[in-house]
Chains A and B, each alone.
Chain A
Amino acid sequence: MSGVVPVAHARKYFFRDGMNMEKEVLKARNIYKSFPGVKALQGVDFTLREGEIHALMGENGAGKSTLIKVLTGVYTKDEGNICLDDKEVSIHSPEAAQKVGISTVYQEISLCPNLTVAENLYIGRDGKIWKNWRSMNKAAKQLLESLDIPAEPTEQLANCSIAIQQMVAIARSVDMKCKVLILDEPTSSLDENEVQKLFGLMLDLKKRGVGIIFVTHFLDQVYAVCDRITVLRDGKLVGEYLISELPRVQLVSKMLGKDMDDLSDIKSIAKKYDGEDSGKEIFSAHELQSNADIKPFDMSVKKGEINGFTGLLGSGRSECVRAVFGADKVIGGYLDKNGKRIKVKKPIDAMKSGIAYLPEDRKNDGIIGELSVRDNIILALQVLKGPFRPFSKAEAQKFAEEYINLLDIKTASADTPIKSLSGGNQQKVILARWLLTHPEYLILDEPTRGIDVGTKVEIQKLVLQLASEGVSVTFISSEIDEMVRTCSRLIVMRDRQKVGELSGDDVSQQKIMSTIAGD
């Protein structure tokens, strides 16, 4: 991956004068937590030292989220104790956690978007500063400057980029004198540049002696900023390691509990689709344009082919596939299937033509949170079948079980609401939903975002297998190496416009980067 902070740069901060890197700020010992049917944590230990960045790693369902929620008072632990500065503390609510000095910044920003940056920094806190806007804005400006955050105190938060919003959330925590800062997947919706800014801030906080727990799925990022790694698996502690002592391959195998196939081999082991109609164009878009502010574009996909849209975040790659699926309002151009024009105005039209679309925003566009895994799986097929022919419960159950097994979805039962599954398993359910419709053309927009390494590999393998069976696939991912591994042809987007198409040997990191950059 490009643009990663050189490890040496991070090391610079590792040994500093006047701070005891071995002083333990937070000690959690022998933590147990169960939910109905699931033992989420079984005797987990976790130690955080002053001024260190500590990665918490593990697959989906390994217990990372549960541990963090126990530490921040969202859940109450069943057993075990938590010490802060060698004193045992009881944390029974997020407020209590904040009071003792444990702050969290979640993946989804929990600030108020319609208030200003300064208001967000000080709202709901003790002290009189809140009562005087001018002094509040002044204090905010100082705080932001001291942390080198490029935001105006009077700006409305919603107008700031996600990265700035996240930094504001962090600044708020820092100003509340937190000793422990938990960053839960902070980088998953940031672009490369923003990630660098965030890392700068993290390293700055580290210098000030804040202990940071960093949860991420990006291995590169772990190795860029972290000092230590704690690995969890199946609710149990695997071990705690200094970063220098744990090479990547070992980290991944510890997370998975087995030696992983070498990722780079994926493509070579995949079989090519060799049906009669292989190489025949099945879907093609001509001068397609939607109301989501993209320039008209052409695109085609062949039988059994995996192509991809690549480009920076906001380059319009998602908007293109949404236009193909009819998810946004199509305002120009048309779609051909096997050379004949088809009308796709709404998602249902696309579905009837054999197109399936796994959206980028899993939480808002993908899952139906309170519905069961079973209902979530059958939904698309049910809609295709029509409103007057519902599946019986037995049929639905059969489908659900089939795909729960096939994709190895970890759920207590098919009746479990999908929202209580981990991110990766939710993604598998959505995937199952579309596979069940046996699509001819499968569009996957960021199917691997925010999920663990093991599932990522599984999904990539699955995509290759589907293609070998003759399904055409469009694959979008922010991780260029994933694109390189899976796609045989790439459409490159820049500034909401198609700027190039790469195929064959041109599908390489180097070439992609240069096309995106416009060299």
Chain B
Amino acid sequence: MKRVMALLLVAVMAIACFAACGGKKSDGKIHVGVINNDPSESGYRTANVNDLKAMFGDGNTNNYAGQFFYSLKNDEQIEAAKKMITDGVDYLLLSAADTSGWDGVLKDAKKAGVRVILFDRTIDASADLYESSVVSDMAKEGEMAVAWLASQNLAEYNIIHIQGAMGSAAQKGRTGALDKKVADNANWNMVVQQTATWDANEATKIVASAINAGKSFNVIYAENDGMAQGAVKALDDAGISHGVGKDVIILGFDCNEWALKELKAGNWNYDGQCNPFQAQYLHDIIQKLEKGETVEKQIIMDEKGFDATTITDEDVKKYGI
């Protein structure tokens, strides 16, 4: 009798576990948990968050039931991930605040049958713990910008290089390409290379300081739009012309809508995209996985670079964030 009871108990527990851990929910929707950085991080992040919300959030047309969590802190993100796994989501979409510390929770996910897709940022974890990752190639962004700059065929490149927060992936990628070019070419000179830690006001001070010191330059390579704008403010105050056909060439990154407008107006010369529109990629991966197809471990997004002379109003609308 006892044995029968025990068996019965085990059976009940197994069924309960199965119901909780696996399979689709009774509503027939695909349950997606999105863990992202906080939208206050940057304009880029806001666009990214909104894009994902439109795809997976309330009112979407693709049969997704999404839940979202935003934080700039790794441990809070991990806690949220654990909760989503317990909630029994089908897919966990993750843009981690920090590259490390995710091993444990991803193993839990695997055990529970939750499929993990990374976006925007990679992590230090065994590749079999996630299905795929959707990322930007920051180095390529830098290379595209530098290639564009080289195509301007200036006799001499005297560059003020304003860097982002030192050590960040975007800074490393965008700095690397330029550093290499300057080292390889005698007519490429680095006049000032300084970090403004993504802060526009610091960028203004750096450029103003260079102007006050009487340094001559004809290129400003800023690693995001805010800092490019800060640099432009210093030029404006000093009465130095900039943009298409003017004294100083301006390069920025991120494709803020207002930045693209500056581009369109010819005040800036180039803006490199850092693609925040990742929802479509994620959607495609999920659909493939649902059909049982295999997906690539790493998908590098297509990213554009806009030239002031060729940008259209449509581009501004479509790609501006």
- Are chains A and B touching in the complex at the 8 Å CB cutoff? no
Interface residues of B (CB under 8 A from A): none
Interface residues of A (CB under 8 A from B): none
